[in-house]
Amino acid sequence: MADDFSPHVAVDLAELRDVATWLSREVQALAGDRDHLQPMVHFGHHSPCGETHLARRAAMSALDEYGARWDKHQQELAALAATLDKALDHYADSDNLRKLDLDQ
């Protein structure tokens, strides 16, 4: 009867480990490309043109916003990678404990 309340769990540890490794690599890759989103504008610095001035402000704000979102993605990805690593460690530990039980 206890099985009715126990959820079905199936885990391919090797495949999930690959995913966790990929997530960690992506966190590093995102960090490497973050510099492109520095809020700096390289046009219209000397222009009295209203449209160009507005474009400068829009570009600055957009870069600022994309940079913040980039950081958020990176943090979320790092959190997912850490969570997956932790889950994999738990599954591996649990498996080892079961193995010990069986050995005794």
Partner 1 sequence: MTWQTVWEAYDVPRIWDAVHLEDDPLGWEQVYGLRRAAEMLTGHSEGLRAKREVVARAWQGPAAALMLSRLDGLITSVTRDAASLTVATHGLHGIMTALAAARKKVQPLALRWDEVTSDWIPEFWDEVAAELNDEARTAMLVAAAEVRDHAGRLAAPEILRETATAAPPPLPGYSPTTSDGPRLAGMPRSVPAMPGHPVSMLPTPPGNPYAPAGGAYLLPGPGVGPHGFILPMAAATPPSVRHSVWRVPKGVPPVILPVADSPTQPTPETMAGFHHWFSGLATPWRSSAPRV
Binding site for partner 1 (CB under 8 A): 7-12, 15-16, 18-19, 22-23, 26, 29-30, 33, 35-37, 39-62, 64-66, 69-70, 73, 76-77, 80, 83-84, 87
Give CA–CA dist 99/104, Å, rounded: 9
Please, what is the minimum distance in Å from the beta carbon of residue 9 to partner 1? 4
Measured CA distances, 35 to 24, 64, 65, 91 (Å): 19, 12, 14, 38
Judged by beta carbon, residue 14 or residue 104, the one nearer partner 1 is 14
Nearest partner of 43 among 28, 64, 58, judged by Cα: 58
Please, what is the minimum distance in Å from the beta carbon of residue 34 to partner 1? 8
